Amino acid sequence: MPDIIKLSLIFVVVIFLLYRKWNLGVVLLLASAALGLIYFIPPVKAGLIIIKASIMPETLGLVFLLILIAIMEYLMKAGQGVRRIIESLRRLVPSRRLLFIIMPAFWGMLPSPGGALFSAPYLVELDPDNIVSPGRKCFLNYWFRHIWEYIFPIYPAVILSAAILHIPYRSIFLTFFPLTLAAIAGGLLFGFLGMKLPEKIKPEGLSKRSAAFILLREIAPILILLILVLAAKIQLLPALGIVVAGLFIIIRPDLKKWPTILKHSITLNTTVLIFGTISFQEMLKSTGCLGSVSAFLSAQGMPESMIFIILPMIIGILTGSSPAMVAISFPILLSLRPEAAPGMFAMAFGAGFSGVMLSPLHLCLALTLDYFKTTLGAVYRIIWAPVLVVILTGIALWLTGK
């Protein structure tokens, strides 16, 4: 049986199980085992490959990284930081249009599943007379909630991209950053097109100076993390450790809350996701199938650039998950073009994440559609244009050799 058919069968099963709401990490571990069976790798050898992949320093480092991210998110929420950010923004930003963007964007700094639902009530509050259509509210909330997912080190897809491509996070940030700018520009250009809304809101509560101080204080953990990684060039894991240690010192959570913090942060889903992703990648390498699959794709006459766009986008649409999109498509693309410049993978990520944003399986989309009582068609009528802006920006990054 040709390698392309074997691998296609594996991917069909993976997509089917994800449709059935199976955990992504478990699905990838099962896919790793299935690869061993279909390529007649002895069970003991296959087991050793998976075990070795699970205890690699890179794998354990990713697990600790995601645990620290979860702890940081918990501490920021526990300290009521997000609530104070919202209050400060309402005082500092009198423009309703800007708040329609900023509210979901700030909630997007915390990678909670279904997180778009957190900011949705604020958009309703900003438009008490229902001047803005439910479809447009849904788009603005959904789109700007995800503008950071191309670059922020607290999102698993970004971390997995750096791990699979074997490049530092700083390189990922600098290369993928134009995608975030494109998402912001596309959302601004098409999200407010023809929208009529009273601009001014009545300031209340805090003074502007107090609001500015509180805002800066509450977003300081994220700003410090980015400064440590991008400016000081400290590796992401120790930089995150410094930020989390600082939060513990400042917030001083009660010792009785430690079990709750650890329970929230050390989740089986997170650990299995990393083990599954790295195991799947290592098993693909061990079978040697990626070389023949790459040769097959090249022999079909389809330009490599088209494969870098179409493959991740299809997987993104089919799974509705950015970690799944990266974990499944990037190893294949890497085998197709091992020497590819980071800009080519920025193009792949932009196309793949565009597929995720279009996917009806994306939890945030499903939740916000239900919250605003609108239809998928109403959102699609707006979202296709910003998606195109992101994809074209990715193509530009590839063409300029970034």
Indicate the DSSP class of residue 151: T
Where b means 16+ CB within 10 Å and e means fewer, 217-253 reads: ebbbbbebbbebbbeeebebeebbbebbeebeeeeee
Instruction: Report mean pLDDT in 10-residue bins for the chain, 402 residues.
Output: 79 80 83 89 89 86 80 71 69 78 80 67 76 90 94 89 90 94 95 70 68 82 83 84 87 72 70 82 79 70 86 85 89 84 92 92 80 87 95 94 65
Give me the pLDDT at residue 1, please: 64
- The per-residue pLDDT for 102 is 84
User: Tokens 């179409």 — which residue?
Assistant: 310
pTM: 0.78
Assess contact for 237 and 68: CB atoms under 8 A: yes
Q: Which two tokens stand for residue 281?
A: 């990648």
CA 119, 125, 127: angle at the middle one, nearest 5?
115
Q: In 108-207, where does DSSP find H-type helix? A: 116-126, 134-145, 156-165, 169-191
Q: Which amino acid belongs to residue 397?
A: L
Rounded to whole angstroms, the Cα distance separating 4 from 285 reads 15
Question: How far apart are alpha carbons 342 and 175 in whole angstroms?
Answer: 7
Measured in whole angstroms, the distance separating CA 160 from the mean position of its chain's CA atoms is 10
CB 294 within 8 A of CB 255: no
Model pLDDT, residue 21: 74
